[in-house]
Amino acid sequence: MEFLKIAVIGGGTMGNGIAHVFSLKEFETYLVEINSELLDKAIKNIGENMNRQVKKEVISAEQKESALKRIKPTVGLENIPADVDLVIEAIYENRDAKLKIFSELEKRIKPDAIFATNTSSISITELSVVCRADRFIGMHFMNPVPVMKLVEIIRGYSTSDSTFNAIKDLALNLDKVPVEVYDYPGFISNRILMPMINEAVFALMEGVAKAEDIDQVMKLGMNHPMGPLTLADFIGLDVCLAIMEVLYQGFNDPKYRPCPLLKKMVAAKKLGRKTGEGFYKY
């Protein structure tokens, strides 16, 4: 299958990163938000992130300019052209909001287009039932999208082999490394990452060590680029908590219970970098 026109729904951290990589690879990229203020912010972020790549000589200034021209800022789902070949949804983690988007798109987007979701933990199978389930798939990028090589490609219960193969080839085309995953809570990335972060929060809560020292152990002892508490601040503590809840409910297993300190910090709106404070101050 040939992909020419792509629509990315949501211009937040993940959505703008996804639009960034598609536009650089010469896809006509519709970036969709609910209003023009959010769109302007998303395009500004993409420009700044591309500037980092220009400075590092990863891309040229000309590549940046032509990529930005290929991004079509779009307000509202109703303004996505019906003939896009692929939709990638990257809004906040809310099952009902995602279901609403896919059921609306099902009515207007051409039937042979593929629908993908960048959800970090919501069941692909559950999201697929309101639309073309055989042409529905999880395409889970990692943050920061322009830098991270991995894309988890998650097959829902009804995802066809041709859909899987098309998306796998597309990920390779973006110079990413695709990994095939089946639809179980947290997929692979978050099933393993989030319990590690949650355990680091338990260690902090129990006074095993200071935040800096917990992070230092994992950085210097295990060669992780960021310690788990720094990474939690980077991802957002609300996102970490939401994923732990999905694991806890999805497996019905107490080993996934979210740490009370993580819950308390989310209640206090100390969500990490995006609010200026989490385990560290920014």
The residue ranges that bind ligand CAA (CB under 6 A) are: 49, 52-53, 56, 58, 120, 142-144, 146-148, 189-190, 193, 225-226, 231, 235, 239
Taking the complex as a whole, how short is the minimal distance between the CB of residue 152 and ligand CAA, in angstroms?
9
Taking the complex as a whole, how short is the minimal distance between the CB of residue 111 and ligand CAA, in angstroms?
30
DSSP states along 7-71: EEE--SHHHHHHHHHHHHTT-EEEEEESSHHHHHHHHHHHHHHHHHHHHTTSS-HHHHHHHHHHE
Measured CA to CA, the distance from residue 98 to residue 90 in angstroms comes to 9
Instruction: Kindly state the DSSP code that residue 281 receives in the 8-state scheme.
Output: B
Q: Using the minimum distance from each CB to ligand CAA, give the nearer residue, 3 or 187.
A: 187
Measured CA to CA, the distance from residue 144 to residue 133 in angstroms comes to 29
Structure tokens at 81: 């052209």
- Is the separation of the CB atoms in 260 and 205 below 8 Å? yes
The residue from 16, 33, 128, 140 that is catalytic is 140
Taking the complex as a whole, how short is the minimal distance between the CB of residue 13 and ligand CAA, in angstroms?
8
Q: Using the minimum distance from each CB to ligand CAA, give the nearer residue, 5 or 219.
A: 219
Whether 35 is catalytic: no
Q: Using the minimum distance from each CB to ligand CAA, give the nearer residue, 57 or 112.
A: 57
Q: Using the minimum distance from each CB to ligand CAA, give the nearer residue, 113 or 122.
A: 122
Whether 20 is catalytic: no
DSSP states along 71-135: EEEEESGGGS-TT-SEEEE---S-HHHHHHHHHHHHHHS-TTSEEEE--SSS-HHHHHTTS-GGG
Taking the complex as a whole, how short is the minimal distance between the CB of residue 119 and ligand CAA, in angstroms?
8
The residue from 120, 121, 123, 128 that is catalytic is 120
Consecutive H or E run containing 265: helix 260-267
Taking the complex as a whole, how short is the minimal distance between the CB of residue 193 and ligand CAA, in angstroms?
6
With the C-alpha atoms ordered 57, 153, 237, 101, is the resulting torsion angle positive or negative? positive
**Residues sharing a CB contact under 8 Å with residue 276, sequence separation 6 or more, in sequence order:** 282
Q: Using the minimum distance from each CB to ligand CAA, give the nearer residue, 20 or 135.
A: 20
Whether 190 is catalytic: yes
How many of the other CB atoms lie within 10 Å of CB of 278?
24
Taking the complex as a whole, how short is the minimal distance between the CB of residue 66 and ligand CAA, in angstroms?
17
Q: Using the minimum distance from each CB to ligand CAA, give the nearer residue, 14 or 204.
A: 14
- Residue in 236, 231, 239, 241 with CA at minimum distance from that of residue 261: 241
Name the residue whose CB lies closest to ligand CAA: 120
Whether 189 is catalytic: no
The residue from 16, 121, 128, 190 that is catalytic is 190
Catalytic residue numbers?
Answer: 120, 140, 152, 190
